[in-house]
Structure 1
Amino acid sequence: MSKQIDDFFKNIISHAKEYGFVFPSSEIYDGLSAVYDYGQLGSELKNNLKTYWWKSMVQLNDNIVGIDAAIFMHPTTWKASGHVDGFSDPMIDNKDSKKRYRADQLIEDKIDRYEQDGKSDKAAELQTALDAALNADDLAKLKTLIEEHNIVCPMSGTKNWTDVRQFNLMFATQMGAMADGAEQVYLRPETAQGIFVNFLNVQKTGRMKVPFGIAQIGKAFRNEVIARQFIIRMREFEQMEMQFFVRPGTEMEWYDKWKALRLKWHLALGPDAAKYRYHDHAKLAHYANAAVDIEYDFPFGFKEVEGIHSRTDFDLSQHQKFSGKKMQYFDPEVNQNYVPYVIETSIGLDRLFLTVFANSLVHEDLSTDEKQDSRVVLKFHPAIAPVKAAVLPLTKKDGLPDKAKEILARLKLDFNTQYDEKDAIGKRYRRQDAIGTPYCITVDYQTLEDNTVTIRHRDSMEQERVSIDQLQQIIQDNVGWTNLLKQLM
């Protein structure tokens, strides 16, 4: 990672903490590895991203409904899904630092460094070798690649590696009042299985006809042993998943459709399209016949943000086998019973949060011939901005705060707003820029005379005089969901 890119990533992390977006969990006790808390503005941004996803999936699609399945599930669920026997990653330990790493990610990081150093041929050669080793489940080859390419431990800087071994990522716990009579259950490592086990319930009660989808937002838990890259890899994270049930034989048509729709969804937020790419899986999961990732170019390289997978009928067939319940659908159009195939779209909410944050954080030089000036601004799409408007009295006297609070009381019924009367107005503008507030409304002495205010636009910093009675509509027209969702129709 070049120093400029490394500095930008550090700025993202420090800005997120300084302004109340993301905190290290349990920080007063020196934190907990790979666990983070979302602060007062981070939780607002996160909720807005969830709302955007839910509205686009459920509200805009007549044949998609949402559920909220429990985190705890019958342990046989994870036997049927393959997680008990096969949910593991190839891990390697450094004997000097006593740190454990995913072997494939160490190699992927080396590939990224080759690319950054202009060694595309070596990067391609190593990528081919990595893909071959993963496809063959050749753990010894992974260690050989690490040794041949002089990959060192990020902590110790040494190459004193153990052999590569598989490590199961599920958290296990006990359910029951007495330890000796307790049943072992798992914290779910993904939210998809809660959808699959409810397939019949939703299909029958909702009178759903194939093709149809079931959407869900929920927490998942994985015993990630690598704590790095901020909120990219965490032990507790949130997923937004939709499982789309289709007639066998039509799955590739729907796979291509959802692949295009999901990238369109990301780009509607207004990022640089060049920072996104598709990455087809070289090694398919045991349940898939096609899989692609939508990747974003983070400061540390391209990483997955969302996956689109054609899961065949694996999941429903497995649950049919292990539960003894028929997971079939009668299709009147073809007069046939079948187990539906599934197209999955799965997005990590925390990763989406980081892409939006990285896309939006801008350092602007505002210097002129007369003076040096700059600002840091989060240029969120207005619909997802944590705070929609700030009301600022010009001074703390002469009735201006009373008038400002009167305006605030009207706006807060529809929008998340802030009130700020501390410091000079310029400093207050900068504070709102730093948290991404689209509009600052300044109440001054003219307001008391003619009931108008100055409204300042975040991105352009332009100011205009408008009637207080117009504020509601001006803000709604720009921060409402309509403009954003229209791009998806």
Structure 2
Amino acid sequence: MSIDKIISLCKRRGFVFQSSEIYGGFGAVYDYGPLGTALKNNISQIWWQAMTQFHENIVGIDSGILMHPKIWEASGHVDAFNDPLVDCKQCKARYPADELFDGNPEDGEWNNIQCPKCGTTGNLTEPRQFNLMFKTHIGPVQKDANVAYLRPETAQGIYVNYLLTQNAMRLKIPFGIAQIGKAFRNEIIARNFIFRTREFEQLEMQYFVKPGNDDQSMRDWKDERIAFYSQLGIDSGKLRLQEHGADELAHYAKEAWDIEFEFP
């Protein structure tokens, strides 16, 4: 089944609508219809129950979308949450650099790479860094001192409330903090329906363990997360665990895995 047929079916059956469709649509933003909302809420509730009710040492919070900008400076998002961007000087199209060149963008010979849209060669700019966070201002005056960001992920709300949550709930390591909430990313090119959007909902849990227990904890959680998707009715034969390569890891990560689904 093609992605176009899936999009059409989702619209007809009331699962997903293009946001602001009566005004021509709004790129990479989608509204959930009656059935889509019910489905999404059901999955969220099952996940929340699996985290906070089936585990005595996991609790939930709901942090703000807007947080102090120093949080994003400390986490590295202001300086490093970037994607390399290239422009075509001929047709003005823009692309993530890694879409046109497989490797370090700085090693690409951009004068010899063809623009996929207009077909010309020699018109692509050198890559420049594009920050993926949405920037806004707090208060009536737009100045640097009032800059704030829409959160690009929910994890930071968990980290900054770590001690407050631990003390309030009298938790001892190991314990986890779960959260469901909106996140926002100003993608250079957002496509492929709801698989890559600028506004999306995250279901996230951060689990804190003592050093030395991390490897076993990672193995346990990999097994539990795979089992969760099977409980939702997803064919386990369509799922696989994929480890991040050394060049894909976040600067703070020792190890990371994705659960990938074989899309029809």
Say whether the fold is shared (TM-score over 0.5): yes
- Within 1, Cα distance between the matches of 2:191 and 2:242? 22
Q: Could you tell me which residue of structure 2 aligns to residue 200 of structure 1? A: 163
Q: Do 2:98 and 2:105's aligned partners in 1 also have CA atoms closer than 8 Å?
A: no
Deviation at 1:162, TM superposition (A): 2.2
The 3 A distance-change label for structure 1 pair 97 and 264 is: farther
The Cα of 1:157 is off from its aligned counterpart by 4.7
- For residues 96 and 256 of structure 2, the distance between their equivalents in structure 1, rounded to whole angstroms, comes to 21
8 Å contact from structure 2 (residues 110, 124) kept in 1? no
Deviation at 1:272, TM superposition (A): 2.7
What is the alpha-carbon distance in structure 2 between the residues aligned to residue 158 and residue 257 of structure 1? 51
Q: Secondary structure at the match of 1:271?
A: coil
Structure 1 residue 211 corresponds to structure 2 residue 174: yes
Of the two, which has the highest radius of gyration?
1
Quick check: 1:79 aligned with 2:73? yes
CA distance in 2: counterparts of 1:180 and 1:90, whole angstroms: 26
Please tell me whether residue 139 in structure 1 is matched to residue 133 in structure 2.
no
CA shift digits 1:11-46 (9 cap, x unpaired)? 110000111111111111111111111111111111
Is 1:290 aligned with 2:249?
no
Structure (1/2) with the larger helix percentage: 1
CA distance in 1, matches of 2:18, 2:212: 47
Alignment of 1:24-103 (within 5 A): 24-103=18-97
1:303 matched to which residue of 2? none
Alignment of 1:410-449 (within 5 A): none
- Rounded Cα–Cα distance in structure 1 between residues aligned with 2:223 and 2:168: 30
Match of 2:141 in 1: 178
Number of aligned positions between the proteins? 261
Report the CA distance between 1:145 and its aligned residue: 8.9
**Preserved contact between residue 176 and residue 182 of structure 1 (Cα < 8 Å):** no
CA gap of 1:248–1:203, structure 2 versus 1, over 3 A, is same
Distance of 2:63 and 2:152 partners within structure 1: 13
Judge conservation of contact 2:240–2:261 (CA < 8 Å) in 1: yes
Identity of aligned residues (%): 54
Q: Pick the aligned partner of 2:218 from 237, 244, 255.
A: 255
Q: Which residue of the partner structure matches residue 164 of structure 1?
A: 127
**Preserved contact between residue 139 and residue 165 of structure 1 (Cα < 8 Å):** no
> Which SS does the other structure have where 2:165 is aligned?
helix
Matches within 5 A, 1:242-281: 242-281=205-244
Listed one character per residue, the Cα deviations across residues 421-480 of structure 1 (whole Å, up to 9, x for unaligned) are xxxxxxxxxxxxxxxxxxxxxxxxxxxxxxxxxxxxxxxxxxxxxxxxxxxxxxxxxxxx
Q: State the 1:265 CA deviation.
A: 1.0
Q: What is the CA-CA distance between 1:158 and the residue it aligns to?
A: 4.7
Amino acid at match of 2:134: F
SS in 2 for 1:216: strand
For residue 193 of structure 2, the aligned residue among 230, 233, 253 is 230
> Cα distance 1:278–1:70, how it changes in 2: closer, same or farther (>3 A)?
same
Gaps of 5+ in 2: none
The CA deviation string for residues 184-207 of structure 1, in whole angstroms up to 9 with x for no partner, is 111111100000000011100100
Distance 1:42 1:290, change over 3 A: same
In the other structure, the counterpart of 2:9 is 15
* 8 Å contact kept, 1:21–1:41: yes
Alpha-carbon distance in 1 for matches of 2:232, 2:24? 36
CA distance in 2: counterparts of 1:60 and 1:207, whole angstroms: 18
2:189 is the counterpart of 1:189: no
Corresponding residue for residue 314 of structure 1: none
Deviations along 1:221-255, one digit per CA (max 9) or x if unpaired, are: 11112131011111111111100010011111111
The higher-RCO structure (CA 8 Å, 6+ apart) is 2
> CA 1:289–1:167 in structure 2 vs 1: closer, same or farther (change >3 Å)?
same
In 1, are the aligned partners of 2:137 and 2:143 still within 8 Å (CA)? Answer: no
- Note the aligned Cα RMSD (angstroms): 2.1
Tell me the distance in 1 between the aligned counterparts of 2:47 and 2:111: 39
C-alpha separation between the residues in 1 aligned to 2:212 and 2:200? 34
Q: Which amino acid aligns with 2:132?
A: L
For 1:103-135, what per-residue CA distance to the aligned partner results, in whole angstroms no more than 9, with x for missing partners? 22455xxxxxxxxxxxxxxxxxxxxxx4xx3xx
Superposition map of 1:103-122 within 5 A: 103-106=97-100
Q: TM-score, with normalisation over the residues of structure 2? A: 0.92
